[in-house]
Amino acid sequence: MEANNSKEDSILDALELLKGRRSIRKYKSSPVESEKLEKCLEAAQWAPSASNKQPWEFLIVTDEGKRKKLAKLHPYGKFVAESPVVFIPLTNSTIHAKYHQSDTALATLQFMIQAHSLNLGTCWAGVIGTDFEHKIKKLLKIPEHLQVLALVAVGYADETRSSERKPLTSLVHKESYGLK
Ligand SMILES: Cc1cc2nc3c(=O)[nH]c(=O)nc-3n(C[C@H](O)[C@H](O)[C@H](O)COP(=O)(O)O)c2cc1C
């Protein structure tokens, strides 16, 4: 009985963590502790991937000049100029042609959830397939065979945000599509 209860408790904690994360677009200038950053990177490293191919690499940018240049290149990611860290997940289609993007997206989400658990804010700004991806690659000397999935701002939040979700009843089907 007791063992069941403690299991339920840990399930609830995960849900609270997941529901409590918000995309943060305003950051304090306080730096991110290297131990915290390391934990977030480890969380990304341990994401599941198709055939455990791990078709990802990670680039960390803290240099202010580079962050400002990245912000100029990304029309919807201006906040990376202010976040003290930018986490850049790189995806390698030569390692897994079919699933490289979804695998690297999972690693990125794991990074973001770990960051949230450490009281750090993040915001994903999509890059892959955009007409400015090649400019980001050039700026950061990223080799041809890698694609830039996103710029992920990381830092201490200087805002509180809310968000909405579609109701589960409109999303979930049972046994066959259309059956509620
Ligand atoms: C693939 C992807 C691309 C995104 N691109 C941007 C972006 O370019 N700029 C931005 O401000 N937010 C971006 N976001 C963040 C979403 O706007 C945000 O996750 C969504 O509004 C839900 O809000 P929440 O994360 O606070 O729950 C992106 C998120 C994802 C998953």
Please count the other Cβ atoms lying within 10 Å of the Cβ belonging to residue 80: 29
Quick: pLDDT tens for 53-100.
999 999 999 999 999 999 999 999 999 999 999 999 999 999 999 999
Average the pLDDT over 113-140 and give the result: 98
Domains delineated in the chain: 24-160 (3.40.109.10)
The pLDDT, as a whole number, for residue 2 is 47
Q: 122, 124, 154, 161: which to mutate for ligand 1, most atoms within 8 A of CB?
A: 124
Largest CA distance in the chain: 58
List of residues 6+ apart from 161 with CB closer than 8 A: 22, 23, 24, 25
41 bridge partner residues: none
Nearest atom in ligand 1 to 75's CA = 8
CA distance 116 to 111: 9
pTM: 0.95
CA distance 78 to 52: 34
83 Cβ below 6 A of ligand 1: no
80 CA to middle of ligand 1, Å?
Answer: 13
Quick: pLDDT tens for 22-59.
999 999 999 999 999 999 999 999 999 999 999 999 99
